[in-house]
Chain A
């Protein structure tokens, strides 16, 4: 009895292995925890205090007290204080003149940003000439109240300045920041407030077709760098009172406008609150592109997958809003973010909806297939060539053996050579000027590929595999998702090189284990595939006719789930 028990006690090495099995995940756990906390720029409690501490630095404090001082109303003094602040800048101009009434006035603007026509025709003209004929009326008004200056301000705004965009600056700080982003300030002797006229009209790009998301059929409109243009494009989608856009200011040093757009009677209010909360918690001195926002509000920093969809297409944004998602637009970036995102969205293109449903469905299936190839084709090649010759058809085995004669590398190295060079080519193609780009592609793809085969570096089969992979990865509509897949492809290749097809299966399981864990703003990343919701499947791999798609995605938990009234 004892002997049999003893015989079952495993070797010491088994215990060592068991220990390794235990320790490695623990290490990974702590590493990832540490990484999360180290990298996690995700909103946390200490953000507000940090903000405060920055503002309370001594110099700032001094400036603040000075700035918060409201204007005196004395022309010379105010002008001097403004000049002291910004006259150093070569592009800030001060134009002083005398109004028709004899009061001194000044216009302060930034060259290239101010609305020249507006200021010259509507403002200066009316102040310098038209004033005289209207003196009778203001004199009536002035009698009503003793406060001379105030009436003049309202009078100015009501009667003299025929422009829509007019505000008043209350303190120096605000004034200066507004001047610097393109508003024109008007300082009039005897009026305490400084008026801000118009807004920036710097040179902007016209609305063009988006470069990163080409479509054959669909609107040829893309976002531009100007936030107001972008919101306008969104507004123009149709008469819709429920589209709401709230403005935030982000960036601690250089403040930028950020708009959160949503349909107020569709969006889940919890989701909206969460988006707002995360945006408010952004703590960064400057956000040049919406990519910054994307990374600062995402759920999981360590995931290779993007957790917000970026798009240049307004139609895509509107469609998402109607599904109950939230769009985030940042000034200065033509890319809007859509949250929450699901994996299937990355493989969808607006064209699926514009074409009829049968071709639309076909295109979608093709994209899923392409994703599979882009991810696993080289891995399968490696595992079959290096581990499982028995799983390849016999005749193919013979021709592969023939083709691979003289290839000095194992399949992993061979595949790495080709894949890396393809990736480099691709990266080079993006940087190259447009006329050279395609030529470079041909040179790289054809000549290098062919030469590598002839030189016996790689086998022709691999070239086919790599080509299929590369083409497949171009079929993915979202550029960012494409990068993710390229990255994961290399991981798949390594796992295949270590454990063959088994490793590939494990990689698949690992990938999906990660995907099912991942959430984008509380929505499982892998939805609508799982959990099973038949209603959501109508718009997943299949794109069923519109008559069938009557409801908004269930996963979004919208307020109003019916698409039809």
Chain B
């Protein structure tokens, strides 16, 4: 066969995967969740600070992975802490990924049922979505990366256009004053922003697939700053239009922003459809990559073929997705899973990195 070197993912593809993973359900809820905690319009500062923290955690993960070139965390965690603890940690991460993918699917289904398909049963929405996801991931990380590369530019362009159009009802007074109540509210929002920026943790597996793993940090920085910029724009536009008091009243504030104006004369008067389109695509990307990360983990943990595992995971994800009974539980579920990630992908990598450095494990070149 005509073998090609691009069977590994390029740095650009790594960037795209990180960005697509991060841009998930958060786009629609971020302005509310953040403003609920910050209570002023300064959430955007929290976003930047949160991003910095995320960067640090991400760099730790990348550094850790660079100690074990060509291996994912599932493969090398056992080398660091022994097979028992290692397997447990791997299992936790797999559970995390499964939970995230289930959560994303459920949120997608809820919004779709609210705004697009009112009387369609949830299983119909979820089922078709999952099958297409499965179809994509069976052909591995390369196809996933290529699809994300198609989705991301569409997302960025459409989101920017939507936000630009919404400037019609934007009122700068709503996002002023900057730091009117000092830094304290900003700090309060940090936790939310860190949760919003989840997605960097995909770097625990990506360096193993990269053509140039040494560019991992660069990819991470660019990959996380794309969502940062998009989130910043979204946040400012939404709060600017809906005002702090209005944002906290809205379940899906970004959608409400799009629904709050009509531009007659353009071919389309209403633009929430476009937002929903790119949003569903983004959920699809988050779902597929977490699904893939989960099944890859299982495959590497039990050293089995990955395909049957992907098939096997589908019903599990489906059942998990249907567990929350109402919206509150759904959001709680999301919060819980995200909080777990702070320990799993914030503190754990630092520990692992320390252990690796102290006991000089990993690649030989680090020793020399």
Q: CB within 8 Å of B: which residues of A?
A: 7-8, 10, 14-15, 17-22, 24-26, 29, 268, 270-271, 274, 387-388, 390-394, 499-503, 505-506, 509-510, 512-514, 516-517, 521-524, 526, 529-532, 557
Contacts and interface: CB of A to CB of B under 8 A. Distances in A.
Given A22-B315, A25-B134, 17 more contacts: A10-B323, A18-B314, A21-B318, A22-B312, A271-B2, A387-B117, A388-B273, A392-B269, A393-B264, A509-B147, A512-B150, A516-B136, A522-B1, A529-B149, A529-B150, A531-B6, A531-B13
Contact of B284 (A21, A393, A509, A521): A509
Contacts of B319: 10, 14-15, 18
B281 A25 contact: no
Contacts of B229: none
Contacts of B123: 17, 21
Contacts of A274: 1-2
B358 interface: no
Contacts of B273: 388, 391, 501
B77 interface: no
Q: Is the interface of B mostly helix, strand, loop or mixed?
A: helix
Given A393-B270, A529-B150, A500 B116 contact: yes
B281 to A, nearest CB: 7
A557 B5 CA distance: 10
Contacts of B323: 8, 10
B6 A499 contact: no
Contact of B315 (A21, A391, A530): A21
Given A18-B315, A502-B117, A526 B146 contact: yes
Given A21-B318, A531-B149, A506 B135 contact: no
A317 B134 CA distance: 38
19 contacts: A21-B123, A21-B127, A21-B314, A22-B315, A25-B314, A270-B3, A387-B116, A387-B117, A393-B270, A502-B117, A502-B280, A506-B128, A512-B150, A513-B132, A513-B147, A516-B150, A530-B145, A532-B12, A532-B16
Interface in B1-43: 1-4, 6, 10, 12-13, 16
A521 B147 CA distance: 19
Interface residues of B, number: 56
B10 A531 contact: yes
Contacts of A29: 311
B4 A557 contact: yes
Contacts of B272: 391
Given A506-B128, A522-B3, A531 B280 contact: no
B280 A505 contact: yes
A274 B325 CA distance: 55
Contact of A509 (B117, B132, B315): B132
B146 A516 contact: yes
B315 A526 contact: no
B135 A513 contact: yes
A22 B123 CA distance: 13
A22 B2 CA distance: 34
A521 B3 CA distance: 9
